[in-house]
Amino acid sequence: MLASKERPPDCLSDLVLDEWRAGEIDDQARVAELEAHVAGCERCRARKEAFDEQARSYLEKKPAFVPPVRARLKHESRRSRRMQLFAVGASALAAAAALALVLRTPEKTPVGGEETGTRLKGGSHVAFFVKRGDRVVKGGPGERLQSGDQLRFTATLERPKHLAILSRDARGVTSVYYPAQPVTTPLPAGADVALENSVELDDVLGEERIYAVFCDAPIAVEELRTALERTGEIPVRQGCTVDRSAFVKEPKP
């Protein structure tokens, strides 16, 4: 009716291959049997190799599961209740930090030349925490946020650098999220250094793109913002790198 059975009766099913690949077959004799079969069966060997390759390729594109903020807030709330039961004191921020979901920047491009100097693992990047009501969680790439959420950025720098964080909302309007001053001052090297001030999200819905610009020299922030608004891109500048990411703004339920 729907499809004919294609697998020869002696060949391994996808279910068996998946269980084997996931390390769920405890019986070593059975594992040896599977290995022997795959070694002598072209179809199963090719299928297993294809699964391995598909998994590698998939995880390159989607390396981690990032639950939406709403779910994490709920989860965090449950965790906090459990913590109270066991009388364990911990701030929401510390609990959120335990989530260890760093805003990994999917697109990182050197602007106007190679970056020099020793890089920390992962290079310079920013992350952010989201405050909704009295709950705080760490944000992730492609995050679904709400109008009224407050964002607080952190920066990881392998050496002192200038940093500007700008955004471009769904209407193409640009804003400066960091710094508050017109020209940047260098930030010290360090991991997850909290930046001053937080940002409250407005009610423009849709995708908002975030640009974190790291430079060796001071950045004239307003100049950068108008260039972004005019061209939709950060202008090329020697000695700078740009981390791009995005989140989606949704209405409050």
Partner 1 sequence: MVSTENTLDALYRTHAPSVFRRARRLLGSDAEAQEVVQDVFLSLFERPEQYAGKSKLTTFLYSAGTHACLNRIRDAKNRLRLLRERAAGDPEAKSDVGLTPEKLSLLHRMLERMPEELARAAVYYYVDDLSHDEVARLLGCSRRQVGNLLKRVEEWGRAQELQHASQ
Cα 245 to Cα 143: distance, rounded to the nearest angstrom: 10
Q: Binding to partner 1 by residue 3, rule CB under 8 A?
A: yes
User: Whole-number minimum distance, CB 51 to partner 1, in Å?
Assistant: 7
Alpha helix (H) ranges present in the chain?
A: 14-21, 28-40, 42-61, 69-85, 92-97, 221-231
Give dist(CA 226, CA 175) in Å, integer.
9
CB of 95 to partner 1, least distance (A): 11
Tell me how far apart the alpha carbons of residues 167 and 169 are, in angstroms, rounded to a whole number.
6
Output Rg (C-alpha) for the chain, integer angstroms: 24
Instruction: Give the residue among 161, 155, 233, 166 at the shortest CA–CA distance from 199.
Output: 166
Q: Three-class SS of residue 226?
A: helix
Provide the token pair at 71. 């779910």
Q: Is 123 in the site for partner 1 (CB under 8 A)?
A: no
| Contacting residue, 2, 29, 85, 87, with partner 1 by CB under 8 A | 2
With contacts defined by CB under 8 A, how many residues of the chain interact with partner 1? 32
Stretch that binds partner 1, among 22-30, 144-152, 153-161, 174-182 (CB under 8 A): 22-30
**Smallest separation, CB 1 to partner 1 (Å):** 4
250 touches partner 1 (CB under 8 A): no
Residue choice 35, 58, 206, 223 for contact with partner 1 (CB under 8 A):
58
Q: Applying CB under 8 A, which residues contact partner 1?
A: 1-3, 5-7, 13-16, 18-19, 21-24, 51, 54-55, 58-59, 62-65, 67-68, 71, 74-75, 99-100
